[in-house]
Amino acid sequence: MLTDKQALILSGIMTIGFFILGILDILDNFIVLTVLTIMFLTLIINLFYLNYKPEKDAVKQKDTK
């Protein structure tokens, strides 16, 4: 999925987006909420995906030895 650098960039864009869009008072816009929600869910899914992936790789490495 996302590398660490990509996840940090995405979270930075999301944070800046919340800040700027909050100042402009357009966080109630459906499109804005949809984009921010998709970014947030992408980060959360990536977090869980990366937590489960190393365990499977560790099992494969033990089997090959």
Give the pLDDT band of residue 25 (cuts 50, 70, 90). Answer: very high
Measure the CA–CA gap between 14 and 44, rounded to whole angstroms.
Answer: 13
Mean predicted lDDT score pLDDT of the chain = 86
Kindly report the number of other CB atoms within 10 A of residue 62's CB atom: 8
Mean pLDDT of 7-11: 94
Residue 8 has pLDDT above 90, yes or no: yes
